[in-house]
Every structure is written in structure tokens, then in C-alpha cells.
Chain A
Amino acid sequence: MCPPAAARAAENFSPSLDTARSSGLSPHLQRLEDEAIHILREVVAEYRKPVMLYSVGKDSSVMLHLARKAFYPASPPFPLLHIASGWDFQALIQHRDRIAAAYGLELLVHSNEQAARAGVNPFDTETGEYSRLMLTEVLKDALDLHRFDAAFGGGRRDEEKARAKERIFSLRASGHVWDPRNQRPELWRLFNTRLSPGDTMRVFPLSNWTELDVWTYIQAEAIPIVPLYLAAERWVVERDGALIAVDDERMRFLDGEKTVKRRIRFRTLGCWPLTGAIASEATDVRGVIAELLDARSSERQGRLVDAASQASMERKKREGYF
């Protein structure tokens, strides 16, 4: 990752105070874990009805693992909410149901069936509009329906520029809108959790984690993840430079497109027709970390939704997406 520093670190490393912990985690991961647990508990202590947004992805998997730790020996005292677009990878849905059952968690699943019946789909509908209808609006409706006052999300500040300035406790006015100019300063560990009527809070316990942190933590803690994150032979088509996996029979092929078998994995898991895979030989988490250490592209590149426009993430956040 950093050749000159790596060489130096190997030469003159001496154990320092902060490595002398009893746990198996590095001091860095231990600090991130402790910080996330603190945030999770703060929400449960201060809010009437929290919920955890569970996308079943790697970040959600880490967040759920942290929640099991934070409230042990009690179970996490809130339900999980999955927004299913109807175009989710099959393996992701299977993993979701197995995890919820194995851990005995309450799982809520919401979808925009009306829009799906009206013909909204990732092939014909403009990508921004598709994700607004199938994800953002469903999320907002679900939060309103259950009257959740705080929702955990797995967002990280390193993902994208608009997120670098995101608060850990991100205030949403009624309608779930995010006003970047009306966010509260966050000092020390003293989170201002107060809400006016109609306001809700989005809370990001993994704010200070990087993609590499997430993977090394998954490895260290042996956290189960959707197998799509690991390389395997899968059927794909190449489209606009991205590898799109053919996850079910609804795939719409363009002229001249051929299905080919490739050894691929995914860095993020969105709707399958909109999620690009990468060629990879990493069949286990250790391999993913190794590839990540010399990776040359950041993870959101695989998502066609983000590439749609400059600062599209910021626009989506304003609309109420995470």
C-alpha cells in the first residue's frame, strides 16, 4: 500500500503502548469497534424506536455484528429493515433470511410493488429515477409507516466526497431531507440526539471505517458475508466497460451481447443489472484484502447509479437516500 513506509515500518518497528491490548484486533480496528459500539448504544439509550437499515452487504454485515456485540448478552433491541428493489441478487436474499433466522432477529422487508407493477425496471427506467422510486421512496415510506425516529446506516465517509462531511448523527427534516448546511457540529463523543417533531436521525456507526478496515474486520471476526463478494465462475455480459452478472431470466440483452463465463466478484451489491463485477481470483476474504491492498479503483465505481452525474450522491442524500 505504501512501499517506502512499509519498508520503514518493518525495519524499526517497536511495540508501543497502544498495541498492548488483550484483544485479537489491531489497536486501530479495536478503536473503530469501540467507537461504533458506543454510537449504537447511544442511539438505543436516547431514541424511542430505532431501526437498522440492513442491505445485507458487507458494511451491513459488519454493522449487525457490532450490534450483537454492543448489547450482549441482550439481543439488538431493534428490528432490521431491508429495502428490496425486486432486482436483488438471489444469493443476497438467501443470505439475509439465513442470518435473520440464525440470530433470531426481527426482519422487515419493504418494496415498491406498485412501481414494479407499473413497469419500473432497471433497464427501461432512467437510473436516477429508478433508484429514487425503488429505494429512496420505499425507505422513506417504511420509516414513516413504522414511525422509526432513528435509523442506522452502514455509510462510510471514505466512500465518496459527499460523505466525507457527513455527520455520524445526520439530522433529517420532515420528508427525510438532508440539508448539508443545517447539520449540527459534532464535538467529542457528545452527540446531540435531540429531535423536533417530524425530524428523524440517520446514524452511521461506521463513519470512520475505510473499505480496507471493513474487510480486515470481517476477516478478524469471521463475519459471514454474501458469497458474491468472493470470486467464482459466473455468467456475465460486458456492457459499457462493466461486467454485469446475469442473475435471473429477466436479463435484457442488447444487440450483439453475449453471455460469457468469467471468474468475478463484486465489491458492492446493488441491484444486479446495475452492479458491475470485477475480474478476480480472490476466493476467500484474505484474497480480497490482498487484492484491495493493490487495488486501483475505488469501490463505488462498480455502481452505475453513482456514475450518473457529478455529485449524484449528494443529490440522492438530499432526497433522503443514505
Chain B
Amino acid sequence: MPDTLNPALAPPANDALPLQTRSELRFLTCGSVDDGKSTLIGRLISDTSGLLDDQIAALRDDSRRFGTTEDEFDFALLLDGLEAEREQGITIDVAYRFFATPRRAFVVADTPGHQQYTRNMATGASNAELAILLVDARRGLVEQTRRHAAIVALLGIRHIVLAVNKIDLVDYAEARFREIEAAFAAFAAPLAFHSIVAIPLSARRGDNVAVRSARTPWYAGPALLTHLETVETGLDAAEAPLRFPVQWVNRPDGDFRGFAGTVATGSVAVGDAIVVAGSGRTSKVARIVSFDGDLPAVSAGRSVTLTLADEVDLVRGDVIADPRRRPAVSRRFAADLVWMDETEAIAGHRFLLKIGTATVPATVSRVVDTLDVESLRRAPADRLGLNSIGRVEIETAQPVAFDSYADNRETGAFILIDRSTLRTAGAGMVTEGLDAARDVHRHAETVTPATRAGLKGQAALVVWLTGLPGSGKSTIANIVESRLSALGRQTMLLDGDNLRQGLNADLGFDTASRSENVRRVGEVAKLMADAGLIVIVALVSPFQADRTRAAALLPEGRFLEIHVDAPAELCRQRDPKGLYARADAGKLVNLTGGDQRYEPPEEPALVVSTGELSADQAADQVVSLVLASCST
């Protein structure tokens, strides 16, 4: 096609090019304000001839207008990008810079050393394979050096260059360099870096930047640029097990059904056995499709389209994985969280969580501690403020596939999105799954929930009656079940009080126990719905978050949240179980509608006001809704 359009522009595709073997390295630079970071980047760009005549002219002009150095170029001005920042003389964001040698192309994430440093550094580090930590040879390691090292370690960077800058200002003294090198090695020992290369250099004068300097004859290591050109960083992703998050299902016609995505880690070849992490379905790779023709095998980083040998139901968010080394699939995990939002992170806060290509509702169920990035000590905490880092527990509405971040930077990373502002509020790194049955992998079922419901001639449903004690839930639930049974529907009633005699006999009534009570009832209701039944639940379930979590277990539209609403005073008068009376007498605490609050449903499918309706009338309304929802 192209050659017919433009014959002069279509050389043979196999024509050898210069730069044919050029690889790529993405790295991060960090250091505190006066360590000379921008000067170093400017020097690297300049020494690789990336600095062009008109940029130099603009730089001269800028240096006169904004510059902090007389006469000399202010390399930092080359890097600052936005007007507001230039006028304030500060860099407040991450800027990306580019330079290249014939051997490698470099993408530099330049992050500031002061304000918002945690957020910006985490952002820059997340896509970097190596970090350059700058220290001023005169000042040695400072608090910021330690913080920066801790953050890049947490973000999974395994290769460090300790750039001991301004070595000219300490008269190229080897002793000073060795002292800093040793101090850093001692501090960094617990951070598990794979390589730490310390280099004495002067960004301003160019010593040991592009070429080794004659002024440091005692230094036997490589110049910075040489090290950057040769360091190998890409091994982890290639050796990890296959993870292929499905990004988009490609169905141009009835015949082709491909799963487009990027190989996150590992490799995949035609004929390989695979498993869909969430469902446990297995198949084999039939084709690896690309615009340039089918490929026999691809490895981490490649964006391709897979087709499978079997008809497997796959959607965006699913993860195709190595069946022998599967990711965890769970709704609960612990993680280190970098908090980036003005609003603090506290337990119970709900977000959207994006991991791989899946986006699901999630809750920070617990804040465990915060990390002091300077001492590397953890202190118990119940909240995370802007730019702090801590351990949290996360619970997602649906199960997601993940690995620990230490094992896999691709499938162990997630972001939290604030549901109202839609800001990216936090960046998380999974530390471990929290399910006790961690190594249990879902077994794909041959008979599906739809089959079971179909045999019963109905669509399965969970009808969830929530309301204050004494509002009439149990009474209505009983009438509803009788009517549905009379109509030949197959049902099951789960009454909160009855379940507390058995399944939930170990639980009390404090907030945590109530959540667990609702969680268990939700799971049981889900199982019974999977069995094809119409499940009627009568449960106080006072908290919206708990009910939302239960709803999320069912497919869209299969969970009817019904608010059995009666004025608190009326419930108190009815008091069928004498609970209010006992609470008033001080013999009962944690009573919903008493000392414990009740959160009415935010978006109920139905509200039945039992202050105005009789139990029979209320049941009629519920039955009508159920019949409308459960016919097949």
C-alpha cells in the first residue's frame, strides 16, 4: 500500500539503518535543591550534542532574564518548562528530557527535590529503570538523599547511580568521595538495590560525565554516560511469569475474536497453555497477531493481539497468565500507598481502583502505619496525609488479579481515583494478598449459574431488605417468600437473626462485627443465587459500604436493595424483640437506631414505608418488583 502512494518514500523494509541496535533506558534524577541536578541533565544533553543552536540562543536570552548565574549558561533554565515556575525560580513537576547516543536513547524524568517531592518522585520513578541520586560532595549525604533513596527503592528501582557532584569543589579528593560512597552503602544495605555505582563528577565542568576525567586518576570506574549506556536493567520483566492484561477485545467481524494488550511480564508463544486468572478457564494460544504478520512468540513490553484455541469469555480487565504460575485473585490485599491527595486517606473511604486494565470500586479498609522514609521506620497510623507513604489494606468490590509489587512491577501496581473529584489520589504497590486461602485458585465450573437458574425456570436474584430494628423486615420477608413459593418460584430466606444462631454465632454487634456479619450473609446470598435461587435477605445491615460490597458480588441488576422504612419512633414503639427497651435500660449497646447510626440506602431499588403501608401491602410491592426482575 505505501509504495503505490509514494514510491520515492518507500525504501525496502529490510534496508539496514544506522541506529538499528539502539536500545533505551528510562531513568530518574533526584537530589535536593542545590545539588546541581538540572546542571547535570543540561550537561548530558549538551555533551551528547542534543543542545541545538536555537536552544542555546534562547538559553542565553533566558539566562539574562531569569538566571541565577552571571555570564554562564544556566542549564537549569533549559529544563524548567512553565512560565509560572520560571518566574518563581522553582520546578514543581516532573519534566521529561531526551538525549541519545548511537547506542542508547535516554528518557530522563527530572523531579524536583523539595515541594511535593514524594508525589513527583513516585511518578517519575514508576516508569524508570534506574535512578541517579545526586549529592553535593561538600555536604555529603543529607536527609533528602536518604528520603529519595527510600522512595525509589519502594517504587521498585533496583539500579542506583550515586552521583557525587561538585567534586571539583573538594579539590577532587578521593577520601571525601570514599567517605560518601561508604556512608551510602551502609544506609542502602536494607533497600535491596541490585547495583549501586558511585561516580565522582562535576556537572558544571564535565568531569566524569561523558568521559573519564584526568583530574580523578584514582577513580577506576566508568564515566556516567558510559555506565548509562551499558547497564542492563530489563531482565526482571522478561523472567517473570506471563501476565497479559486484556486491554480491548478486537472483533472486526464474526470470524475474528482477538484479545489486544501489552505483555506486562514474561513471554508467550503460539501453542502455550494459558489460564484466565479470574475465571480459571484454560486454553491455548492459537495466534499472536500483529499488523506486520503473525509472530511465533513475544516477550514483555510488546503490544500484540492474541487469539485462543477455545471460545473463552474474556473482557477488558481480565488477565491471561501462565497456568503454572498464576497471579493471586482476591478482593483483599495489603499495599504500600503513596498518598497524593489533599484529602487524607482514612479507613472506609471509597475509590475507584485501577490495576492492569481493570477498574473496580474499592475501599481502603484499614490504614495500618506510615513509613518514615528517612529512618525507614514504620509507626502505627490511622490516616495518610498528602505526600506520605504507608501500609494499608484494600478491599475491592470484585476480585482482581495481582502479584506482589516486589515480584512484579506491572501487576502489583495500582492507582486509586477519588470518586467525586476523579483525581489520582494514591499510588499503591501490593505487598501481599490477605485471603487466608492464598494459594487456592478458582476452578472453572462446567455448569454455570445461568444453567442452574435456567433449570428452575427463573433468573436468580438477591432481594435485600435493610432497615431499622422493628421496621418490619422479617415480617415482610416471610410474606414475600410465601407468595413467591405459591407462584412456583424457588426461594430461600436468609434472616439476620436466624443466621446469628449458627453461621454468625461468633459475631457481636460492634462496627467491625456488623461488617463481617453483612459480608458473610452477602457471600451466602451470592452462593445461593449462583445455585439459581431467589434469595430474600432480611438484615439490619446499617452501613452503606457493607451493602454496596454485597451488591458488588452479584451481576448488575441481580441485587435489589430495598429500604424497609419506618420512622425511628414507630420502630421504638413496636420494639417486637424488646431491644429498644433493653438499650434504654442500659442493658444493650451497639443497637442500630439507638447508639449506633443507620445509613439509609443511597439508591434503593424500592422504598416501602411501613409507617403508611400494612405488611401485606408492602409485601405486594416487593413481590411485583421481584416478578418483574426474575422472569426469564
Q: Quote the shortest CB–CB distance from A189 to chain B (angstroms).
A: 7
Chain B interface residues (CB < 8 Å from chain A): 1-6, 8-11, 13-15, 17-24, 47-50, 52-55, 78-84, 86, 93-98, 100-105, 107, 119-120, 122-123, 126-127, 210-211, 225-226, 229, 232, 234-235, 238, 247-248, 250-252, 256, 258, 260-262, 289-292, 295-297, 301-303, 305, 316, 340, 352, 354-355, 357, 409-410, 413-415, 417, 422-424, 427
A1 and B48 form a contact (CB under 8 A): yes
Q: Are A70 and B260 in contact (CB under 8 A)?
A: yes
Query: Does A114 touch B at the CB level, under 8 Å?
Result: no
Distance A38 CA – B260 CA, assembled complex (angstroms): 9
CB within 8 Å for A2 and B53 given contacts A73-B252, A165-B93: no
A123 shortest CB reach to chain B, Å: 25
A residues less than 8 Å from B105 (CB atoms): 28, 210, 213
Distance in angstroms between the alpha carbons of A187 and B119 in the assembled complex: 10
Check if A45 is an interface residue, CB within 8 A of chain B.
yes
Interface size on A, residues (CB 8 A): 98
Are A26 and B22 in contact (CB-based, < 8 A)?
yes
Q: Contact check: which of B21, B296, B427 meets A13 at CB < 8 Å?
A: B21
Once the chains are docked, how many angstroms separate the CA of A22 from the CA of B107? 24
Report the Cα distance A220→B10, complex, angstroms. 9
By the criterion CB–CB under 8 Å, are B9 and A71 in contact? no
How far apart are the CA atoms of A221 and B6 in the complex, in Å?
Answer: 13
Known: A2-B48, A190-B354, A194-B422. A41 touches B21 (CB 8 A): no
The reply to whether A188 and B413 contact each other, CB–CB distance below 8 Å, is yes
Which residue on chain A has the smallest CB distance to residue B80? Answer: A161
Given contacts A194-B352, A210-B100, A284-B11, contact A164 B48 (CB under 8 A): no
Residues of chain A within 8 A of B55, CB atoms compared: 298
Contacts of B252 on A, CB cut-off 8 Å? 73-75
Return the contact of A9 from the options B50, B103, B410 (Cβ within 8 A).
Answer: B103
Q: Could you say which residues of chain A place their CB within 8 Å of the CB of B103? A: 5, 8-9, 13
Which residue in A16, A225, A286, A295 is a CB contact (below 8 Å) of B23? A16
B424 engages A184 (CB within 8 Å): yes
- Supposing A188-B127, A212-B100, A286-B11 touch, asked if A74 and B250 sit within 8 A by C-beta, the answer is yes
Cβ distance B260 to chain A, nearest Cβ, rounded Å: 5
Residue in B14, B79, B122, B301 whose Cβ sees the most chain A Cβ within 10 Å: B301
Contacts of A109 in B (CB 8 A): none
Whether A71 touches B250, Cβ cut-off 8 Å, given contacts A18-B234, A187-B424, A210-B100, is yes
The winner among A3, A196, A224, A227 for most chain B CB atoms within 10 A is A224
Cα distance, A164 to B248, chains bound together (Å): 29
Given the complex, which residues of B lie within 8 Å of A164, measured CB to CB? 79, 81, 95-97
Contact string, A167-198, partner B, CB cutoff 8 A, digits 1/0? 00000000000001101111111101011100
Q: Cβ of A162: which chain B residues have Cβ within 8 Å of it? A: 81-82
Q: Are A42 and B48 in contact (CB under 8 A)?
A: no
Partner of A5 from B23, B101, B122 at Cβ < 8 Å = B101
Return the chain A residue nearest B122 by Cβ. Answer: A187
Cα-based distance from A90 to B225 in the complex (angstroms): 45
Selected from A212, A224, A227, the residue in CB contact (under 8 A) with B10 is: A224
With a cutoff of 8 Å between Cβ atoms, the chain A residues found around residue B211 in the complex are 4
Contact A1 B303 (CB under 8 A): no
Indicate if the CB atoms of B81 and A190 lie closer than 8 Å: no
- Chain A CB within 10 Å — which of B11, B53, B252, B303 has the most? B303
0/1 per residue, A202-232, Cβ < 8 Å to B? Answer: 0000011010110010111111110100100
- Decide if A26 touches B11 in the complex (CB within 8 Å): no
CA distance A8 to B226 in the complex (A): 9
- Verify if A6 is at the interface (C-beta below 8 Å from B): yes
Inter-subunit contact B102/A28 (CB<8 Å): no
Q: Do the beta carbons of B303 and A38 come within 8 Å of each other?
A: yes
CB distance from B208 to the nearest CB of A (A): 13
Query: Is A1 touching B5 in the complex (CB atoms < 8 A)?
Result: no
State whether A185 and B413 are in contact (beta carbons under 8 Å apart), knowing that A222-B10, A297-B52 are contacts in the complex: no
- Pick from B14, B229, B248, B251: contact of A41, CB below 8 A: B248
Given contacts A27-B21, A27-B23, A213-B105, contact A45 B423 (CB under 8 A): no
Q: Which residues on B sit within 8 Å (CB–CB) of A3?
A: 49
Shortest C-beta distance, B299 to chain A (Å), equals 8
A298 to B78, CA, bound (A): 13
Inter-chain CA distance A183–B55, complex, in Å, is: 26
Apart from A28-B104, A164-B96, A224-B6, list 7 A-B contacts with CB within 8 A. Answer: A24-B13, A28-B22, A28-B105, A33-B303, A44-B248, A222-B9, A296-B52
* Chain B residue with the shortest CB-CB distance to A22: B295
Looking at the complex, which one of A6, A70, A98, A207 makes contact with B101 (CB distance below 8 Å)?
A6
Which residue, B13, B18, B340, has most C-beta atoms of chain A within 10 A? B18
* Chain A residues closer than 8 Å to B20, beta-carbon distance: 26
The answer to whether A72 and B410 have CB atoms under 8 Å apart is: no
A157 close to B98 (CB less than 8 A): yes
The residue that A230 contacts in the complex, of B8, B10, B413, with Cβ under 8 A, is B8
Query: How many whole Å from B21's CB to the nearest CB in chain A?
Result: 5
B48 touches A41 (CB 8 A): no
A227–chain B nearest beta-carbon distance, Å: 8
CB-nearest residue of chain A to B26: A208
Chain A 35-55, CB-CB to B under 8 Å as 1, else 0, gives 101100110110000000000
Residues of chain B within 8 A of A99, CB atoms compared = 5
Cα distance A177–B1 in the bound complex, in angstroms? 39
The chain B residue sitting closest to A285, CB to CB, is B9
